[in-house]
Amino acid sequence: MHNYKFQTAMLVLLSFVLGNNEFLVMGVLSNISKTYHVSIANVGLLITAYGLIYAISTPIITSLLGNFNRYYTLLGLTVIFITGNTLSGFATTYTVLIISRVISAMVAGAIISLSMTFSSVIAPRSKQGSVVSWIFSGFSIASVFGVPFSTAISAVFDWRMTFFIISIVSVITLILLMLSLPKDLEKINSPLKRQLDLIKDSRIYVGFFLPFFAIAAIYVIYTYLQPLYGTLGFSVGSLSIFLAVYGFASLASNQLSGRISEHGGLKFMPKVYGAEIFILLALPFLIHYKYFGLINLIVIGVVMYLINAPIQIHFLNIAEESYPQAVALASSLNPITSNLGISLGSAFGSIIVGNVGLNNVGFGAVLFAIGALLVNLQLNRIIENSAIK
């Protein structure tokens, strides 16, 4: 039997390359805009399309492939991902680039969902939670190290090179997965019809909108992080350093999210959104002050993922207590709704940038932060009422 720590490392590496593929567009937004002679606002729609396709395709593909061997399904989907990512590097037109991003997005969510199912097979029961959290952390690691590295590579060579490097690392990862993961696994047979009872619970369908609005608020700004940094007056050469710092801020956000889930959870989050609304409102004014604007952007990175652990634990607790047949579906709700939020936020950001200017994205983000606050308050009321019953 292979060492589960090594197997886990391979699954983390897989989520790392998926995270790079999803996020690197934000680091090379201006470069892609110049190559295809399209506006930055239109290039931002690449992020919108990715999040939307990811959210829609994940439950569908996972369900359709449930009757196939998990090992071969994971490898097959990874091959499709590598194909889409490589096509992005070779894209001769903006249309081809869009198609390549759709291919990558269609399988990315299903790959992560399947990766999670290996945790119960490769690790001791006491370590399964740790394995799952590390697989998710691959995306944070990508934002800390991968995206700034990709941005630096694009500055020296070309933005296409970043996709090619991801493909090379992905092929190496695929080979290591083939050699390390167990092959003879039982099929995933979870009838979707039985799981849908979960969605009818108000604690679930109201909660679904919380990360949706929360992530949308951040992505109105995060999508245009590169041009916002330029607006502050910093040099292009220091962009990769800034993105690394921002990545560490988002990693800190994940760690703080875990602490919030252990100390107050969803009850504490309205205070977070109250502070976030103030921070977002300040951005359009602070963007005219080099270092104050910089600090503001980094603070936005710190609040970026604070909702993740509280809402994930909420979904899983409800499923385990009332809908044990739908635990798998419950575990996928946060990634699905977050990617819908990414789509909405980046699309709304494109509208703001295209019509009223880049400096005003903070005002648009505030609308979604207010939405998150209102949903959070309503969800807390529902949870309290259900506890009384």
Q: What is the pLDDT of residue 233?
A: 85
**Distance from CA of residue 280 to its chain's centroid?**
20
List pLDDT tens digits, range 266-278: 999 999 999 999 9
List pLDDT tens digits, range 368-387: 999 999 999 999 999 988 87
Q: Which residues are CB-contacts of 82 (< 8 A; sequence separation ≥ 6)?
A: 167, 170, 171, 174
Residues 257, 307: contact at Cβ < 8 Å? yes
Range of the domain at 16: 1-189
Across residues 327-333, what is the average pLDDT? 70
pTM, two decimals, is: 0.73
By mean pLDDT, which of 63-67, 287-291, 340-344 is the weakest? 63-67
Across residues 342-366, what is the average pLDDT? 88
- pLDDT value at 41 more than 90: no
Q: Over pLDDT 70: what percentage of the chain?
A: 91
- Do 218 and 194 share a domain, yes or no? yes
- pLDDT value at 12 more than 50: yes
- pLDDT value at 301 more than 70: yes
**Distance from CA of residue 369 to its chain's centroid?**
18
**Which segment, 170-174, 201-205, 355-359, is predicted with the most confidence on average?**
170-174
Could you report how far apart the first and last alpha carbons of the chain are, in Å? 48
Q: How far is CA 348 from CA 48, 49, 99, 114, 273, in A?
A: 9, 13, 22, 31, 19
Confidence band for 5, pLDDT divided at 50, 70 and 90:
confident
Integer Cα distance of 191 and 214 in angstroms: 31
- pLDDT value at 1 more than 50: no
The rounded mean pLDDT for the chain is 84
Cβ–Cβ contacts within 10 Å for residue 382, how many? 16
List pLDDT tens digits, range 67-119: 678 888 899 999 999 999 999 999 999 999 999 999 999 999 888 878 877 77
- pLDDT value at 31 more than 60: yes
- Do 176 and 205 share a domain, yes or no? no
Number of domains in the chain: 2
Domain C-terminal end among 189, 212, 245 = 189
- Do 71 and 36 share a domain, yes or no? yes
- Do 183 and 204 share a domain, yes or no? no
- Do 194 and 164 share a domain, yes or no? no
By mean pLDDT, which of 192-196, 302-306, 382-386 is the weakest? 192-196
- Do 175 and 198 share a domain, yes or no? no
- Do 211 and 340 share a domain, yes or no? yes
List pLDDT tens digits, range 251-261: 888 778 877 88
- Do 162 and 208 share a domain, yes or no? no
Integer Cα distance of 340 and 359 in angstroms: 24
Domain C-terminal end among 189, 204, 225 = 189
- Do 232 and 293 share a domain, yes or no? yes
Q: What is the pLDDT of residue 298?
A: 93
CATH number of the domain to which 373 belongs: 1.20.1250.20
- Do 178 and 233 share a domain, yes or no? no
Integer Cα distance of 94 and 106 in angstroms: 18
List pLDDT tens digits, range 126-176: 665 566 667 777 877 887 777 777 777 887 888 899 999 999 999 999 999
Domain C-terminal end among 148, 174, 189 = 189
Residues 214, 122: contact at Cβ < 8 Å? no
- Do 180 and 305 share a domain, yes or no? no
Integer Cα distance of 59 and 139 in angstroms: 20
Burial class of residue 199, CB neighbours in 10 A (0-12, 13-18, 19+): middle
Confidence band for 192, pLDDT divided at 50, 70 and 90:
low
- Do 214 and 179 share a domain, yes or no? no
Confidence band for 241, pLDDT divided at 50, 70 and 90:
confident
Residues 149, 24: contact at Cβ < 8 Å? no
Across residues 41-47, what is the average pLDDT? 78
